[in-house]
Chains A and B, each alone.
Chain A
Amino acid sequence: MNKKKNKNIFQMKEIHQLEPTSQIKKGEVIVSVKDLEVQFQVRKLTLTAIRNVSLDIYKNETIAIVGESGSGKSVFTKCLIGMLDENGRISQGSIEYSGADLTSFNSNEDWLSIRGKRISTIFQDPMTSLNPLRRIGSQITEVIRLHRGLDKEEAKKEAIHLLERVGITDAEQRFNDYPFQYSGGMRQRVVIAIALACQPDILICDEPTTALDVTIQSQILQLINSLKEEYGFTVIFITHDLGVVAEVADRVAVMYAGQFIEVGTVNDIYYDPRHPYTWALLSSLPQLGAKDEELFSIIGTPPSLFNKVTGDAFAQRSNVAMEIDFIKEPPMFKISDTHYAKTWLLDPRAPKVERPKIIGEISKRVADIYKGGGN
């Protein structure tokens, strides 16, 4: 009994160590991930889902994490909010955020000061993140009352204001509706309202538009962007579709087999991609395909992360792999101040490899295809 009490005191101290992030200026580092490694125990086998990654996230930017399913993009963000599954643990590295190392947080009480309050998440399917048995209004006020300590009346006022802000008309009447009375797009708006209720520093959007229609998708993306400008939070946007993020993100980090293989601004990634995997992702977009030509498709499957990956994880599927790609893991080469890529092709000794033709034509193709819309 005594021991337990002591432990709690220790945790309280931990919570107080969080510093406010308000004095961090736009464009400065807000989260710094260093050498992070995440492992899962699956039936006595060890799966390394995140393999030694480092990434700085800047205040008020939108960073998109792009990768196939199983590449570890969701696991990466789950580390930020302490929502790793029970069989998972951070085995190495540090996550620095507002003066604390998030990897040392290990109890629910620790995380309560961060999760939902400072870092909020929007998930893919709004129906599963809302409680179907409770009214929309009470689900929003719950968060406001818990984290901001407002009373019932104030919380209701604030909730209605938030609903209006995310674009729900007649917010006052709809306050008492149940989730099933809302359409898919509106449900996602409610989820955004809940996420914003505590004015978080960081908003993690885990494929927020995959389950939605194209028209609704563009509305939600626009909404997230305008709220970002207004509230000044940082957006971490997870998606598997490079076609979606070009207009939303400031920076893109491409993830493959648990590692960031290329990081850069949107212009770096779309106009000057360096890693063969980024080439493959871009050239397989159906949006860019011409009718009479076959789409580029990546052969094979990602390597199993139960085994140790030697060399470049993408080498097996790459058509420009060199011998060294199978032997030694490439370092992160610096291309410019904003642009990094993890491929041996950037080594001065590597032969010059032409990137697929389609990469240089993205702007031209997009202009050709979409000239009809909007006029």
Chain B
Amino acid sequence: MQNLINRFKKETPQDVKVYPDTVPTVDPLNDREILLEVVDADIQFKVGRRIVKACNNLNFKIYRGETFGLVGESGSGKTTISRAIIGINRLHRGAIYFHGENIAKKLNKEKRMEAKKAIQMIFQDPASSLNERANVDYIISEGLYNFKMFKNSEERLKKVYKMLEEVSLLPEHLSRYPHEFSGGQRQRIGIARALVIEPELVLADEPISALDVSIRAQVLNLLKKLQRERSLTYLFIAHDLSIIRYISDRIAVMHKGYIVELGESQDIYSNPIHPYTKALLTAIPQPDPKSKGERERIVYNQGDIKYEENEFIEIKPGRYVLGNQELIKKWTKK
């Protein structure tokens, strides 16, 4: 009996912060429209009896029309949070606001469909993320079927053709299967599949890591072009800071489930504060033989920096660092 009461107690703690269902969508700081806002997000997984805290206290905003970069090593939780945004992972605590509306709680069917349609994903490995037994026509149209976005097959084909053209594929590719394409072409199919249902926010999870260098440039250019033409917003996930710099407006650096630093990408590059960010920056291979030997590499040692005790501090408008006053003073002094 006591056990039962305890269990009941655990589920309704007294100090739970209540997150409103809606929040304003204009940032008072700079009057920009907030498309997506993540507030105090915690994500936990149960592995046997152990609880793995994959994301801890994540806070960030994504403005409409920008590219927001999420960087970190594997296992830092960057994919986990993006999966929470599309509703695959559940939040343990916190809220995710899309258009000012909380989408992390239970939604009715209509609202859930709306959110699904407006947020789409592009995956890392185009070979494994496409249905290999479906032809390109079906792969691209699947979203259109799901959301019933056409009146007759003529209209559907029109939409598919237009999308194909935008990603520089040819109409005759429609009847082919994914294995018949090169890596770059497959990634274009993945992009076409995501964009044909006209989403507002695209989560790109390492979309170019699996590609050859010469094709990377093509895909990056394509993503940028589509962003301009369709005023898309990107959440761009990568472990490689050199690519993130080229494509992102703002960057959040993640480590062990925490965002350790967040700010304008140029600012992060020229003026990193958190030691982890510094280590990450020195690890980028530089395409310049001159830097051989000249450059010192910082190996990050977390040491006695306890993330769970630190706070996410705004050191200047729009620039956040995980730490405390003392630590930040120490880091900026160096």
Say whether A213 contacts B73, CB under 8 Å.
yes
Say whether A372 contacts B285, CB under 8 Å.
no
Nearest CB of chain A from residue B188's CB, rounded to whole Å: 13
8 CB < 8 A contacts A-B: A214-B283, A215-B280, A241-B213, A243-B242, A246-B287, A286-B247, A369-B269, A372-B272
Tell yes or no: B30 within 8 A of A by CB. Answer: no
Q: Which 4 A-B pairs have the closest CB atoms?
A: A373-B281, A284-B217, A297-B217, A287-B242
Nearest CB of chain B from residue A272's CB, rounded to whole Å: 11
- Supply 8 further A-B pairs (C-beta < 8 A) apart from A214-B240, A289-B246, A372-B271: A215-B73, A247-B289, A267-B289, A270-B289, A285-B213, A366-B291, A370-B284, A372-B268
Say whether A295 contacts B221, CB under 8 Å.
yes
Say whether B300 contacts A280, CB under 8 Å.
no
Q: How far is the CA of A68 from the CA of B218 in the complex (A)?
A: 14
Say whether A270 contacts B288, CB under 8 Å.
yes
Say whether A243 contacts B287, CB under 8 Å.
yes
* Chain B 251-295: CB-based contact to A (< 8 A → 1; otherwise 0): 000000000000000001111100000111111111111111001
Interface residues on A, range: 35 or more
Contacts A216-B73, A280-B214 given; indicate if A373 touches B272 (C-beta within 8 A): yes
Given the complex, which residues of A lie within 8 Å of B218, measured CB to CB?
297-298
Given the complex, which residues of A lie within 8 Å of B220, measured CB to CB?
286, 289, 295
Q: How far is the CA of A122 from the CA of B313 in the complex (A)?
A: 44
Nearest CB of chain B from residue A48's CB, rounded to whole Å: 20
Say whether B288 contacts A291, CB under 8 Å.
no
Tell yes or no: B162 within 8 A of A by CB. Answer: no
Q: Which of A6-14, A15-23, A217-225, A332-340 contacts B (4 or more CB under 8 A)?
A: A217-225
Interface residues of A in 199-234 (CB under 8 A from B): 213-219, 221-222
Nearest CB of chain B from residue A303's CB, rounded to whole Å: 14
Given the complex, which residues of A lie within 8 Å of B156, measured CB to CB?
none
Q: How far is the CA of A108 from the CA of B256 in the complex (A)?
A: 47
Q: How far is the CA of A301 from the CA of B215 in the complex (A)?
A: 10
Q: How far is the CA of A69 from the CA of B298 in the complex (A)?
A: 32
Tell yes or no: A281 within 8 A of B by CB. Answer: yes
Q: How far is the CA of A132 from the CA of B182 in the complex (A)?
A: 31
Q: Which of A221, A281, A366 is close to B213, meaning CB atoms less than 8 Å apart? A: A281
Say whether A247 contacts B291, CB under 8 Å.
yes
Nearest CB of chain B from residue A277's CB, rounded to whole Å: 9
Q: How far is the CA of A284 from the CA of B221 in the complex (A)?
A: 10
Say whether B286 contacts A370, CB under 8 Å.
yes
Tell yes or no: A184 within 8 A of B by CB. Answer: yes
Q: How far is the CA of A214 from the CA of B286 in the complex (A)?
A: 12
Say whether B224 contacts A294, CB under 8 Å.
yes
Tell yes or no: B84 within 8 A of A by CB. Answer: no
Contacts A214-B239, A372-B269, A372-B272 given; indicate if A246 touches B291 (C-beta within 8 A): yes
Say whether A246 contacts B221, CB under 8 Å.
no
Q: How far is the CA of A291 from the CA of B251 in the complex (A)?
A: 14
Tell yes or no: B22 within 8 A of A by CB. Answer: no
Tell yes or no: B127 within 8 A of A by CB. Answer: no
Tell yes or no: B304 within 8 A of A by CB. Answer: no
Given the complex, which residues of B lie within 8 Å of A243, measured CB to CB?
213, 242, 285-287
Tell yes or no: B329 within 8 A of A by CB. Answer: no
Name the residue in A214, A244, A295 with the highest tally of chain B Cβ atoms < 10 Å from its Cβ: A214
Given the complex, which residues of A lie within 8 Å of B279, measured CB to CB?
215
